Chain A
Amino acid sequence: MWESFLEFCSWFFVTGDPLIYGAMVSIALTMVAIVFVLTKYKKWGWLWREWLTTVDHKKIGIMYLIASLLMLFRGGVDAILMRVQLAFPNLEFLHSDHYNAIFTTHGTIMILFMAMPMMFGLFNMVVPLQLGARDVAFPFLNAVSFWLFMFGAMLFNLSFVIGGSPDAGWLSYPPLSQNEFSPGPGQNFWIWGIQISGIGSLATGINFIVTILKMRAPGMKLMKMPMFSWSVFSSCIMIILAFPILTVTIALLYLDRFAGAHFFTMDGGGNPMMYLNLIWMWGHPEVYIVVVPAFGIFSEVVATFAKKKLFGYKSMVAAVMGIAILSFFTWAHHFFTMGTSASVIAFFAITTMLIAIPTGVKVFNWLFTMYRGKISFKQPMMWTIAFIPCFVVGGATGVMLSVAPADYQYHNSYFLIAHFHQVLIGGVVFGYLAGIYYWWPKLFGFKLDEKLGAWGFWLWNIGFYVCFMPQYALGFMGMTRRYYTYGWDYGWESLNLVSTVGAFLMGAGFVFQVWQILYSIKHGERDTTGDPWNGRTLEWSIPSPAPFYNFAVVPQVKETDDFWRVKEEKANGTYKEEPVHLEPIHMPKNSGLPFIMSVFWFIAGFGFVWEWVWMAAIGMIGVFLTMWARSFQYDTDYYVPVDEVRRTEASLGRVY
């Protein structure tokens, strides 16, 4: 009995390697950290009432943020492990299997479980406030999205200690990802972790499109909408068009693995190349999905800290929408080397180059927003200024990659690795960090410490160039991605060592940022005005942190930077005070169903991963029952009485 139990354990759990045991400890610590951060001062009941059942977009945004920072930590540890292994030739720090698992999880986590939730966190924290709305269009669905993401991410991360990590690359190309070459549950963890959180992403896309189309404050025409909201709109359009393709593609991959279907198998008429096409039809828009909101953030930050209107607003709108459309016509540039006909290759090369045009235009518009402005170098602006040269170079190497015949030489080399890290770190990460620093006071009521932030900023930036510039050179030296080791005979050793040093510098930058957050909780400069940066848009017109109903009175909008207009009119005495009339506020009620439903999804996912049909069935029935229960709920909202609104506002220093 005991024997067979032990046998089960060694099959079920990943055993036998000190690194994995170390990882188990670090995962346990991460879990403790989640519990710790969420419950530091309060009880579980409070946790359930205030967080697990919340439908408040600001709280959901905060939860996304915390989750994404934890995922950034894990993805970052993966990155550092890889860089340690590659620091010297012929190192035996990691075996091939482990290295393969680590680069797979690094890529998957950074894109799907770090960038996506950080982006959704920013959507949630900012968009309704910027639009002058009280919540998103579908608050319940919003909570469902979050919990699906959360449980999908947990399922994926579980693979580290149970069953074994996926190790066929972050996009799991078949036939390598098929049973024949990747037996065991690792690939299934990849499929179901992404599948479950992907459904959540799709729902968020729908939610924010409706929010932006229908929930804007009166007077805010689409062409008066703040640029960040425009970028969210563009991103969400790409989400609803691209994510169903992902859902189908990995469902088909699962059918191949589970039911013996022949979509992407080598035999039985399967066509692995179809997978490459499908996954990149999602995958290419995906990178624009994450980067376009960063463009929106830069637009807000540049205007605020240059104290000047955003230059070329209409051009900017045209550019983000143009990018959304073009992004669907470039997928094949990820496999120019597949040997298709010259005309197909030429078509995709040209469409890829075309994307550089609207992107370049945006850079010029940001520059000319600063031109004749008054630039103050607060943290959000520092990240924005650092972004411009970084992204310009990353964009230029992207254009170089789009030159198809030259791409035959860059493809799968470290040149490509350096390029996409430069646009993803220099664009997405710098952008989201700028956004987090910018909107942090609105969410939490205090600023993040400037001095520690400066340490983080410089370590990240110097570390970035030290890490990735050598990788361009390594690409020219013919170093291929996903090598777990290399010999002395190619001359790669010194640049690899430099690159590893850079990775550690970035890691140190992250440590400073964590320290910065913890330090600022106690000592950060409190924001009592609600407008710590001299902002331009509606979110700065309300107190920090924003009350749960956001706006006591729905604002009337006249201009693009409406709050700036109000401040200017007040300054020169032309502002007309309108009589304020408080009314009861219609709000959604909290609900535990999103959480419960996602738990069932998790159970179903776990069953699918291990191909335990009974367990998958229990989970799916649970999902179905919670949806059924929701359909019968009619008492889903309530009204906040005027007295309570008046009292809340008074406690925040605003008298009505």
Chain B
Amino acid sequence: MQQVAKNHEHGHAHDHEHGHEEHEQLKVLGFWIFLVTDCILFGTLFATYAVMNHSFAGGPTGAELFALPGVIASTFILLTSSFTSGLAILAMNKGKVKELIGWLIVTALLGLSFIYLEVTEFIHLVHEGATIATSGFWSAFYTLVGTHGLHVSIGLFWMLAIIIQLRRRGLTPVTRRKVTTLSLYWHFLDVVWIFLFTVVYLMGVM
């Protein structure tokens, strides 16, 4: 950035900074629209799940196999991680890079344990005889929950990339925007999980 500015007339350095700022805002808007598309993606999966709700094909039902305590634990973990990612944003707004990185690491660790619990749950279910090929219901279950898990996993790698970039570059308009979009993404996944927990697990057990 600075190198580029040096190559040109000095008077424009300020404009360049301004141009970047504007461009980063575009990216945040673009990310919001991406979240709209992701919303529809999950909406479609939820709709599929609703249609498949009773398609057990003689196989096990959700109520028989769901272990609520583990799911409640992962719900709390994910909710907490959403909160810590909010704390990360607060730290960023105060300009404290180290604190920001710290909270991001906490968020990532919580996300990681969420994924760990989910994988354990899936393994448990498979051992109980419920695989993706068991029935329409389990196909829909694994796809819906798994797609959310995949989103969280991608988010973890993304978080890692941003932590590295924050360490290297500190807070710039670009890294700020990246943290902002990541946090949007993380909150979004949290909201999806709340729906998922209600529709799949709570209503599934009832």
Is B136 in contact with chain A by the CB < 8 A criterion?
yes
Residues on the A chain within 8 Å of B162, using CB: 631
Is A628 a contact of B12 with CB atoms below 8 Å? no
Contact B37 A261 (CB under 8 A): no
* A268 engages B26 (CB within 8 Å): no
A240 to B158, CA, bound (A): 23
A586 contacts the other chain (CB 8 A) = yes
Return the chain B residue nearest A242 by Cβ: B40
In the bound complex, CA of A270 to CA of B51 (Å): 10
Return chain B residues, CB-CB under 8 Å to A205: 37
When distances are taken between beta carbons in the complex, the residues of chain B under 8 Å from A584 are 8-9, 12
Chain A residues with CB below 8 A from B44, complex form: 244-245, 248-249, 278
A207–B37 Cα distance when bound, in Å, is 13
Please name all residues of chain A whose beta carbon is closer than 8 Å to the beta carbon of B69 when the two chains form the complex.
none
Hey, which chain A residues are within 8 Å of B9, CB to CB?
584
B51 touches A274 (CB 8 A): yes
Partner of A137, one of B30, B34, B143, B169: B30
**Contact A255/B143 with A138-B26, A247-B41, A248-B41 known, Cβ cut-off 8 Å:** yes
Assess the A210–B33 pair: CB atoms within 8 A: yes
Among B19, B34, B41, B44, find the residue whose CB has the most chain A CB atoms closer than 10 A: B44
A267 to B26, CA, bound (A): 48
Would A638 and B26 count as touching, CB distance under 8 A?
no
Give complex CA distance A637, B174 in Å.
13
**B27–A240 contact, CB under 8 A?**
no
Q: Contact at B135–A138, with CB atoms within 8 Å?
A: no
B24 CB, nearest partner CB in chain A, Å: 12
Residue of B nearest to A248 (CB): B44
| B191 interfacial by beta-carbon distance below 8 Å | no
B164 neighbours in A (Cβ, 8 Å): 632
B19, closest chain A residue (CB): A586
Q: Say yes or no: B26 contacts A269, CB within 8 Å.
A: no
Query: Nearest-CB distance from B205 to chain A (Å)?
Result: 20
* B137 contacts A by Cβ under 8 Å: yes
B42 to chain A, nearest CB (A): 9
Bound CA–CA A639/B161 (angstroms): 27
Knowing A202-B37, A274-B51, A639-B8, say if A248 contacts B45 (CB, 8 Å).
yes
Q: B52 touches which one: A207, A241, A269, A639 (CB < 8 A)?
A: A269
Give the bracket for the number of chain A residues in contact with chain B: 35 or more
**Chain B residues touching A, range:** 35 or more
Contact A634 B1 (CB under 8 A): yes
A210 close to B135 (CB less than 8 A): no
B133 near A262 with CB under 8 A, answer yes
Chain B contacts of A631 at CB under 8 A? Answer: 158, 161-162, 165, 178
Supposing A213-B29, A244-B41, A255-B143 touch, asked if A268 and B48 sit within 8 A by C-beta, the answer is no
Q: Which residues of B contact A256 (CB under 8 A)?
A: 139
Chain B residues whose CB sits within 8 angstroms of the CB of A635 once the complex forms: 1, 4
Residues of chain B lying within 8 A (CB to CB) of residue A141:
30
Q: How far is the CB of B181 from chain A (nearest CB, A)?
A: 11
The answer to whether residues A206 and B30 also contact, given A269-B55, A271-B136, A583-B12 and a CB cut-off of 8 A, is yes
Interface check B63, CB cutoff 8 A: no
List CB contacts (< 8 Å) of B19-53 with chain A.
Answer: 19, 25-27, 29-30, 33-34, 36-38, 40-41, 44-45, 47-48, 51-52
A388 in the interface (beta carbon within 8 A): no
B16 beta carbon closer than 8 Å to chain A: yes
Q: Are B133 and A252 in contact (CB under 8 A)?
A: no
DSSP class of A's interface residues: helix, strand, loop or mixed?
Answer: helix
Instruction: Please state if B29 and A214 are interface contacts (CB–CB under 8 Å).
Output: yes
Q: Is the CB of B140 within 8 A of A263?
A: yes
- Please encode chain A, from 208 to 245, with 1 for each CB lying within 8 Å of some chain B CB and 0 for all others: 01100111000000000000000000000000110111
**A259 interfacial contact with B, CB 8 Å:** yes
Shortest distance between the CB of A324 and any CB in chain B (Å): 14
Kindly state whether residue A653 has any CB partner on chain B within 8 Å: no
- Closest-CB distance, A255 to chain B (whole angstroms): 6
Q: B169 contacts A263, CB within 8 Å?
A: no
Give the distance in Å from the alpha carbon of A213 to the alpha carbon of B26 in the complex. Answer: 10
- Asked if A405 is an interface residue, CB under 8 A from chain B, the answer is no
- Is B157 part of the contact surface with A, judged by Cβ < 8 Å? yes
Q: Say yes or no: is B57 at the interface (Cβ < 8 Å to chain A).
A: yes
In contact, A248 and B48 (Cβ under 8 angstroms)? yes
Question: Is B51 touching A240 in the complex (CB atoms < 8 A)?
Answer: no
Shortest beta-carbon distance from B179 to chain A in Å: 13
Asked if B56 is an interface residue, CB under 8 A from chain A, the answer is yes
B67 close to chain A: CB less than 8 A = no
Asked whether, in the complex, the Cβ of B136 is within 8 Å of the Cβ of A263, the reply is yes
A248 to B47, CA, bound (A): 11
Pair B40/A244 contact, Cβ less than 8 Å: yes
Min Cβ gap B28→A in Å is 10
Whole-angstrom CA separation of A261 from B137 in the bound complex: 9
With a CB–CB cut-off of 8 A, which chain B residues contact A244? Answer: 37-38, 40-41, 44
**Which residues 170-228 of A sit at the B interface, judged by CB distance below 8 A?**
202, 205-207, 209-210, 213-215
Q: Are B37 and A639 in contact, with the CB atoms below 8 A?
A: no
B45 to chain A, nearest CB (A): 6
Q: Given A260-B133, A261-B143, A269-B135, is A210 in contact with B55 using a C-beta cutoff of 8 Å?
A: no
Q: How far is the CA of A510 from the CA of B142 in the complex (A)?
A: 49
Interface assignment of B132: CB less than 8 Å from any CB of chain A: yes
Name B54's closest neighbour in chain A (CB-CB).
A269
How many Å lie between the Cα of A639 and that of B139 in the bound state? 52
- Chain B 50-82 per-residue mask, 1 if CB under 8 angstroms from chain A, else 0: 011001110000000000000000000000000
Given the complex, which residues of A lie within 8 Å of B7, measured CB to CB?
A: 639
Of the residues B37, B48, B133, B161, contact of A206 by C-beta under 8 Å? B37
Bound-state CA distance A127–B33 (Å) is 19
Cβ distance A592 to chain B, nearest Cβ, rounded Å: 20
Using A243-B37, A259-B132 as known contacts, say yes or no to A628 and B26 having CB atoms under 8 A apart: no
- Which residues on the B side are within 8 Å of A274 (C-beta)? 48, 51
Q: Is the CB of A268 within 8 A of B57?
A: yes
Rounded to whole Å, the gap between the CB of A499 and the closest CB of chain B is 38
Taking the closest CB of chain B, its distance from the CB of A631, in whole angstroms, is: 5
State in angstroms the CA–CA spacing of A140 and B27 once bound together.
12
- Are the C-beta atoms of B38 and A255 separated by less than 8 Å? no
Q: Check if B57 sits within 8 Å of A269, measured CB to CB.
A: yes
A245 & B55 in contact (Cβ 8 Å cutoff): no
Contacts of B146-176 to chain A: CB distance below 8 A: 157-158, 161-162, 164-165, 169, 174
8 additional A-B pairs beyond A137-B30, A270-B139, beta carbons within 8 Å, are A206-B33, A210-B29, A214-B29, A248-B45, A261-B133, A263-B136, A631-B162, A639-B12
What are 16 of the A-B contact pairs (CB < 8 Å)? A141-B30, A210-B30, A210-B33, A241-B36, A241-B40, A244-B44, A252-B139, A255-B132, A262-B139, A263-B143, A268-B134, A269-B135, A631-B162, A632-B161, A638-B4, A639-B16
> Which 4 residue pairs spanning A and B have beta carbons closest together?
A269-B55, A269-B136, A260-B133, A261-B139
Instruction: Give the B-binding residues of A (Cβ under 8 A).
Output: 137-138, 141, 202, 205-207, 209-210, 213-215, 240-241, 243-245, 247-249, 251-252, 255-256, 259-263, 265, 267-271, 274, 278, 583-584, 586, 624, 628, 631-632, 634-635, 637-639, 641
